[in-house]
Every structure is written in structure tokens, then in C-alpha cells.
Amino acid sequence: MTAHDFTALLPLMILAAAPVVIMLAIAFRRSHGFTFSLALIAVILAILTLLWKPAPSSHKLTQLLVIDGYALFFMGLILVAGLFTLLLSYGYLNIHKESREEFYILILTALLGSAILVSSVHFASFFLGLEILSVSLYALAAYMRMNELCIEAGIKYLILAAFSSAFLVFGMALIYAEMGTMEFSMLAVRMTPGVDIRPILLAGTAFIIVGIGFKLAVVPFHLWVADVYEGAPAPVTAFIATVSKGAVFAILLRYFVQVDMPRGNPLVVFLVCVAVASMFAGNLLALFQDNIKRLLAYSSIAHMGYLLVAFLASGELRVTAVVFYLLAYFIMTLGAFGVVTILSGQERDADRLDDYRGLFFRRPWLAGSFTVMLLSLAGIPLTAGFIGKFYVLAAGVSSVLWMPVICLVVASVIGLFYYLRVIVVLYTPVPETAAAAGPSMPAGVLALSVLMVLLVWIGVYPGPVLEAIATIGVLP
Amino acid sequence: MILFWIVFIPLAGGLLAWVAVKHGPYVRRKNELIARWVSITALAVDLVLVLFLWLSGSHTVSIAGGTWIAEISRPWLPSLGISFHLAMDGISLLLVLLTLFLGMAAVISSWTEIEGQVGFFHFNLMATLTGIIGVFVAVDLFLFYFFWELMLVPMYFLIALWGHEKRIYAAVKFFIFTQLSGLLMLASILGIYFIHGRKTGIYTFDYFKLIGTPLESGTALFLLLGFLAAFLVKLPAVPFHTWLPDAHTEAPTAGSVILAGLLLKTGGYGLLRFAVPLFPGATADIAPLAMTLGIIGILYGAVLAFAQSDLKRLVAYTSVSHMGFVLLGVFVWNEKALQGVMIQMLCHAISTGALFILAGAIQERIHTREIMRMGGLWAVAPRMGGVWLFFAVASLGLPGMGNFIGEFLILLGTYEVRPAMAAFAALGLVLSTVYAVWMVQKAFFGVNREGWRIPDLEAKEMTVMAIMIAVILWLGLYPQPCLDKAREGLSSLQRITSGAPKVSSIEIFGRQQ
């Protein structure tokens, strides 16, 4: 291993070493603050090592991993999201009686898994990363052991994620049987376009899409998502919604950009249907939810549908649109669940719509941030969500995908309806009751404020971010 | 740079007003007063800037062959060809002036009406005005869409938080109508962007560069429909008008004034500035249909207005009728009709704005909008009655008032190309007399059955009304300065369309009859 390899792998090494260090630290002394600081330092160190690179040149490490601009960008995105999750979790865990320290170990292993996932170019590392991520998430989803909903969420997530992993492995096996390789780039070489697609290959790819579909929770693989979002602790929900889905989408893009699918391919047609169905089903199901976490769960289905529209486009706008939308989605989802986290009490999370009635008059700053997050989710100007949706539409129009584009327009108008409903509730005055002031979570509020500033800044002046995205390059 | 200030001073004023109420140094009442004065001052400063642009006529910039009063252009998202490009010609100038004037009237009219969340209210009001001004001066299609959407959210809050009984329903309906149609326009904007880019290799959202993009007639029609969706909903044209009565009725007074006075004008402005010049051929193709829609709007709006028993709803339907004239005039597209459209937009904004302010004042005093429960108000509030009568007859188009000039010019322009349509449209004048006289009769004369005892208009309200009356009379008796100001802009729009393959509308429709 050369020094250069070592530098490239440093973020992964830090993420792998940190859980061990924290475990040892817990063995010596249980201290929430200390463990939190360790985890925070580990993540910040990992982020700094990402920046400490000569140039985003592609660097292949064995057949399994490649550390290139694309991987670095997504690692950065995931680690920053992890950082925000940590900040949100600290206050949240403080008010709960559960043993707190192990939470951070699981977050770090989940981050390790997703970092491997986004840098993998081989089925083995793909699967390895995904499993490290998923196993950590099973435990995280069920972390509040005394809460029935939480246990339910954990079990549901366990069963469905294991199920989808089985699909994924089977699909990989089929492709390997046919092509004799598990490297993405080799697959791309051997799959010459224009030649008829062999049935086994098609079946293999279909199984992989099913597996990924479960992870992304797109229709018709979305049934777990509302229950898991509702039951899991709010910071974990934020983590599942962003890091897990984002990493899987990153690998999906990486894989399919290399292994190109011609138009009219049954799988492409299937993906178009999935995108349209996700946009409509997600938004329609969210319409009548009185539970904020479920509402955001269904809205996330719709957002995955929007992303798929960009993903189905061709040309250079495709990668920009997907990456930018994912970035915006990370910020606004973390922000929205951040508000839920900060308002949550010891007994239960603040997930009922009634918990938010008149929030503006009690905690104007929180209500303001929530409004901005919701407006961004709805794609209203001055927010990153608007620029994201603009790019998705642009990508769709440039590839003449008129049907999905018009569906997107109609679906996002349906989406507006429930975002507005929540916003109205925030500003509805309530009779002066003994409004419990709620616990204050300074770290969480800080994280939320940073997210809001980012959201508006990127929404108004996205130039630098777009330039950064333009340089990443999806092909290793 | 002056345009940048003109757009963003109101927003800054709104923020300041919000902060003043939240963190002001005095007791709440006094802070709220400060917020109101801050808003007024910001608008007044802006008004002075615009008037300065008008009067110091020497500043002219030449863009793409046309003469413009001011321009600012900065790269914003260069990778996509998006720039922060604002430009103002006579049309924009008149409409921005109108925006600021009505904005001040809206602030004053809500002086006593709004009591909760005064700071946030003024922030939303000023943010809406910023969006509207932005729409009137943006000449980059992305930026235009940006402002177009920007004005919606604060408007939504104005209706949803400070409106009347059915405010949530009205606000959501308003938002969904405008958002859906706006997104369709965005799809069209992207369509023309990519077509222009593929044909010329220059990917840009710049209005001046996109004009004259060669389009196949089918594509042009398809793209035009996206734009029309947005503009016809805003205008509104029948059958896309159903959001309007709800939104206007449920909004607080200031909201109704801005909706009727300004938001509707963005639809008319969009047709003038974007829809027709970008797609001259396709516009000519659908002009007969659009003109028919305009005439249906004129008649249908007037008939429905007569059938209303809610005062604000009645005024709202008169807007549908009057904006039908604008739609008609835009699609006639000759000099007379376009001049008429400008005057009609200005006068409708002021007269309807005034009627909404008065309706709001009545509601604030007697807590109902039911015309049937009013009656005999003239005796108890003669000043209010007199002013109401003035604006009612202005709205029906009495000669001497600006509205007459507008409608007359549009009808004259229409007569030149389509005499039959002009005849039908002229029926609108008769119908408007019916509803205008009827509403004065029911509300202010007759027996005061409920025994209303209400305070008459105060000095502050009378001042606003006096200025509005003066403007209407000025536009009615001596509209020349306004016509002159708009002429250059209108004729350069006509030049754009006459260069296109299907020449200007007059030749096309003219001799078919």
C-alpha cells in the first residue's frame, strides 16, 4: 500500500477506527458528552481528510473501490449529513432515559457503510457497504427499546431490508453468471449497446432495481417507509431519509451511467412508471396525514420520484440535476426532521399536526425555519428546493421526457397542498394555553440555523455549488 | 443599479418593519405605528426614484433596437445562461409607479384593520410588492419566473392569516391555481430555452436573445399554451377565473387591493411583454379564440357581478369583466388597442383598488359584506357614499374618467379589425352600468333598515381617496403624458411582432370579416 493509497483511504479508516475507540472509551467510562465529542471529532476529521486531497483525480484501490471526485463529493455530503444528525441527536438523547453512548457507534458504522457504498465500483463492495449501513440502521431504528412503535419500526425495517438485500444479491449473482465479472466498468465493456439484451441479464438487472427500489422506497416498494419513519426516533428518521437513500441513489447513478440502457428498454419503461407512480402516490398519500413524520415519509416517496425523472434524462444535465437535487433534498429533509427532533419530548416525538398549532407564536424561529424547509420541499423560489426542481425539469425537458415532466408538474402541485396545510397550522393562533416551553436543544437549534442559511444561500446563489458539481464527473 | 434599488427597497422596508415590531424600543402599539410608517416611507422613497426616472428623460439605454429607460445586467448562473437582467421601459415604468402607489394605499387602508402580527403583515405586503415590481422589470425569463413565484407565497400568507371567514380555502385555491399554471409556464420557458440553444448554440434565458427564435408552428403553439396558462389564470380569463372571487373576497383589504390592482396586471403585462412577442405567429393563430374568451369574460363577469349579494364578491366579478377588455385589446394588437390596454390596466387598478378599500372600510364599520343588509348609508356617511359613487361610475366607464379612455380605445382598436367583436364587447358597457348603479342604489340609498350609525371616512382615508380620484380624472381628461410614456415601449413590441413571418395581426384578421 503506497502512501497515496493511504491518504485516499484515510476517511474510511477514520470512520472504521472511531467506533472501536468509542467502544473502548465506553468500557472505561460512560459519559454522554465525552462520547458525543469523540464522535463529532471523528466525523470532522474525516471531513477534513476529504478536503486534504491534491486534486479530485480518480484513484482506484483494488477492484473494489475508487476514490474519485464523485465518491469524494458524496462522502462529503454524507459525512456532513452525519454531522448534522449528531448535533440533532445530542439534545434528543439527553432527554431520553435510554443508554445514550452506543447510538454514536451505530451512526459512525452507518456512515462507514455509506462511504464505502458511494466509492464502490464492484458488486462485492457495493453489497458490503450496503450491509454495514443497513445493519447499523436496524439497531438505530429500534434504539428506543421501551417504545413499542420504535420496536415495530426496527422489525419492519429489518425484515424488508433483509428481503431487499436478498433480491440484490440474487440479481448480482445472475449478472455474474452471465457476464463473468462483478466490476461495473467491465460490465459496461461487455454489454455492447445495440445487441439484444439477454434474458438472464435483464432479470439480474431487474432484481437489482427491485433491491434498490426497496432502499429508496419508491412505489411499489414503499410500504415500509411510513411506519419506519413514524416509529424510529426523529434523528434516526432524518438519517435514514438522507444518508441511506442518498448513498443508494449515488450508487444507482454511478452504475447506470456506466452500464447504459437504451431507450425503449423494458427496464427504462419500468423506471418511468415507477417515477410517475411514486410522484403521484407519494403526494396523494401525504395529503390526508395528520402525522408529520408520516407526511414527510410520503413526501419523500414523491421526492424520489422527482429524482428518478432527472435520473432518466440523458446528457450532461442529468448528473447535475440528480446531484443538486439530492443536495437540496438532504438539506431540507434534515431541516424538517430537525424541527421534529427539537420539539420532541420525553414521552413521544412531536409528530402530531396538533403539536405544531400556533408554533409561530411560541417559538417563532423554529416555525420560521420549518416554513422555509417546507417551502423548499414544495419548490418555491429563494430556496434550494426551487433550483433543484428547476434542474430536474430542465433535465427532463432537454431529454424530451414530456410525459414525466408534466406528471411532475401536476404532482408537485398536489404536493403543495399538504405543505401549505402544515404551514397554515404553524401560523394558526391558539388560545393562550399553558404552552410547555419544551426542552431547549442548543446544538440542534444551531444545526437547524446553519441548514436554513445553507438552504437560502444555495437557493439564491447556487453558482459555486453548481461549479463544484460540474467538476465531479461520474465516471471513474 | 437604480433598478436594483427600486426592486429591493420595498423588501428591505418590509424586513425593517418586521424587526421594528419584534424588537422595537417602545411598547407594542408604538412599534406597530413605526412599522406602518417604515413601510410607507420605503414605498415613498421608491416612488421618488421612479418619478426621477420618468422626469429625467435623458437616461436612455438602447437594447436590441428598442429604447429603454434603465437597465442592469449581472451574471447570476452563467453556466445556464441565466443573468440578473432587469430593464425598464415606459410600460414597466407606468406599472411600477402604479404598484408603489397602490402599495401605499394598501398600507394606509390596513392602518386600523390589521391588529395581529402587524410586523409580519407588513413584511408579507412588501415582499409581494417586491415580487410584483420584479415581474414588471425582469427581462430574463428565469428571473421573471423567479419573481412570478416570489409574489405568491407572501400573498398566500396575507390571505390565509389575515383574511375573513373562508380564508384558508380561498388561499389554498389561489395558490394552487397560480402555482400549477406557473409551473406550466416554466416548462414552456425551458422548452424555448432548449430549442433556442439547439438552433443557435447559445443557451440563454435572456428575453432579447430569445425573441425571434424560429419555431415550427406546432411547437410554438404548444409553448405558447404554457405561457397562456400562467397569464390567463392571473388575468383572469373565463374559464380560469374561479379562484378570483374567493381570493378577493376573503383577503384583507390590503390583500384585495393588491390582488385586484396589481396581481391581475402581471397577467396582462405578461401577455404584452412575453406571450405575444415570443410567439407572434402562434398568437396570431389563436387570436380569434382568445378575443372570444375576452368578450365572454366581459359579459359573463358583468352578469355575475350583478348576481352577487356580497359587496367584495361583486367588485371581484367586475374585475373579471374589466380584464376581459385587456385580453381583447392585447390580442387585437394594434396601436389604439394597446394604448387602451395600458390605460385600462392603470385605471382598473385604481378604481377597483379604491372600491375594495371602501368595501373594506364598510366591513370594518358594520361587520358584514351583505349588500341586502346595507341601505341608507349615504345619509349616515355622505363622504363615503360620494366617493363610492365616483368610483362606481368610473368603473362603468363614464366619459371623463380614465376607465372610459381605456375601454374606448380598446373598442376602437377592435372595431378596426373585427367590428362584430367590438359590438359584442360594447355590450359590456351596458351591463356594467346595470351592476354599478345597482350596487350604489342598494348599499347607499333606500331605507336604513338595520339602523346603521357609522363614522364617515376619516381624513387619512379621504386623502387617499382624493389622490385616487385625481389620478382617475387626470387619466380621463388628459391621458397624453401616459400615452406618450408607453408609446415607445408599445411600438417596439409591435416592431418585434411585425418582423415575424406572420406579420402583425391587423393585416391578418383585418379583412376576413
Q: Which of B136, B511, B484, B135 is nearest to B335 (CA)?
A: B484
Query: Which chain A residues touch B78 with a CB distance below 8 Å?
Result: 463
Enter the C-alpha cell of residue B328: 381583447
Q: Note the pLDDT of residue B502.
A: 39
Nearest CA in chain B to A405: B187
Instruction: Give yes or no for a contact between B183 and A397, defined as CB atoms under 8 angstroms apart.
Output: no
Q: Note the pLDDT of residue B94.
A: 94
Nearest-angstrom CA–CA distance, B54 and B59:
9
Distances (CA, A) of B311 to B23, B234, B240, B245, B359: 38, 22, 22, 11, 7
Chain A contact present for B202, CB below 8 A: no
Q: Which parts of chain B sit beneath pLDDT 70?
A: 58-59, 499-513
Q: Does the distance separating the beta carbons of A381 and B146 come in below 8 Å? A: yes
Residue A432 lies in a domain: yes
Interface A-B: count of C-beta contacts within 8 A:
67
Cell numbers 428565469 label which residue? B142
Chain B contacts in chain A segment 383-412 (CB below 8 A): 386, 390, 393-394, 397-398, 405-406, 409-410, 412
Q: Does the distance separating the beta carbons of B190 and A397 come in below 8 Å? A: yes
Of A406, A413, A466, the CB nearest to B179: A413
Q: Which domain holds residue A282?
A: 116-470
Of A381, A393, A417, the CB nearest to B172: A417
Chain A contact present for B146, CB below 8 A: yes
Q: Note the pLDDT of residue B17.
A: 92
Q: Note the pLDDT of residue A75.
A: 94
Distance from CA of A354 to the nearest CA of B (A): 17
Chain A contact present for B187, CB below 8 A: yes
- Hey, which bits of B448-513 come out as E strands? none
Q: Does the distance separating the beta carbons of A406 and B116 come in below 8 Å? A: no
Give me the number of domains chain A comprises. 1
Residue A250 lies in a domain: yes
Residue A18 lies in a domain: no
Residue A436 lies in a domain: yes
Q: Does the distance separating the beta carbons of A386 and B149 come in below 8 Å? A: yes
pLDDT, one tens digit per residue, over A128-164 is: 999 999 999 999 999 988 888 899 999 999 999 999 9
Of A412, A467, A470, the CB nearest to B183: A412
Partners of B71 in the β-ladder:
B87
Q: Note the pLDDT of residue A187.
A: 78
Determine what percent of chain B falls in helix, strand and coil, rounding each to the nearest 5.
75, 5, 20
Nearest-angstrom CA–CA distance, A65 and A79:
18
Chain B contacts in chain A segment 160-189 (CB below 8 A): none
Q: Does the distance separating the beta carbons of B172 and A381 come in below 8 Å? A: no
Nearest-angstrom CA–CA distance, B299 and B305:
10
- Largest Cα–Cα separation, chain B: 73
Q: What's the mean per-residue pLDDT of chain A?
A: 89
Q: Note the pLDDT of residue B511.
A: 36
Q: Does the distance separating the beta carbons of B80 and A394 come in below 8 Å? A: yes
Partners of B206 in the β-ladder:
B140
Nearest-angstrom CA–CA distance, A367 and A358:
9
Residue A128 lies in a domain: yes
Angle at CA of residue A326, ends A322 and A332, nearest 5°: 145
Residue A63 lies in a domain: no
Q: What is the dihedral of CA B477, B478, B484, B485, to 10 degrees?
A: -90
Q: Rg (Cα) of chain B, in Å, rounded?
A: 22
A72: CB partners within 8 A, 6+ apart: A50, A53, A56, A472
pLDDT, one tens digit per residue, over A292-338 is: 999 999 999 999 999 999 999 887 788 899 999 999 999 999 999 99
Chain A contact present for B168, CB below 8 A: yes
* Cα A286 from chain centroid (whole Å): 19
Nearest-angstrom CA–CA distance, A142 and A152:
8
Q: Does the distance separating the beta carbons of B116 and A409 come in below 8 Å? A: no
Cell numbers 380569434 label which residue? B288
Beta-strand relationship, B70-77 and B66-68: unpaired
Nearest-angstrom CA–CA distance, A418 and A291:
12
Nearest CA in chain A to B196: A398
Of B153, B176, B190, the CB nearest to A393: B190
Chain B contacts in chain A segment 210-239 (CB below 8 A): none
Q: What's the mean per-residue pLDDT of chain B?
A: 89
Nearest CA in chain B to A395: B190
Q: Does the distance separating the beta carbons of B187 and A406 come in below 8 Å? A: yes
Nearest-angstrom CA–CA distance, B310 and B443:
11
Instruction: Give yes or no for a contact between B249 and B312, defined as CB atoms under 8 angstroms apart.
Output: yes
* Cα B195 from chain centroid (whole Å): 31
Partners of B70 in the β-ladder:
B88
Q: Does the distance separating the beta carbons of A413 and B79 come in below 8 Å? A: no
Nearest-angstrom CA–CA distance, B312 and B191:
40
Q: Does the distance separating the beta carbons of A406 and B176 come in below 8 Å? A: no
Q: Which of A82, A71, A163 is nearest to A475 (CA)?
A: A71
Distance from CA of B187 to the nearest CA of A (A): 7
- The count of C-alpha atoms lying within 13 angstroms of the C-alpha of B202, restricted to the half-sphere facing its C-beta, is 10
Cell numbers 408534466 label which residue? A406
Query: Which chain A residues touch B142 with a CB distance below 8 Å?
Result: 390
Residue A392 lies in a domain: yes
Tell which of A374, A391, A397, A467 to mutate to test the B interface (max B CBs under 10 Å).
A397
Residue A218 lies in a domain: yes
Q: Which parts of chain A sit beneath pLDDT 70?
A: 1, 53-57, 191-197, 259-264, 431-439, 474-476
Q: Does the distance separating the beta carbons of A393 and B187 come in below 8 Å? A: yes
Q: Does the distance separating the beta carbons of A393 and B149 come in below 8 Å? A: no
Query: Which chain B residues touch A412 with a CB distance below 8 Å?
Result: 183
pLDDT, one tens digit per residue, over B401-444 is: 999 999 999 999 999 999 999 999 999 999 999 999 988 888 88
Tell which of B79, B124, B144 to mutate to test the A interface (max A CBs under 10 Å).
B79
pTM of the model: 0.89
Cell numbers 421601459 label which residue? B89
Q: Note the pLDDT of residue B499.
A: 62
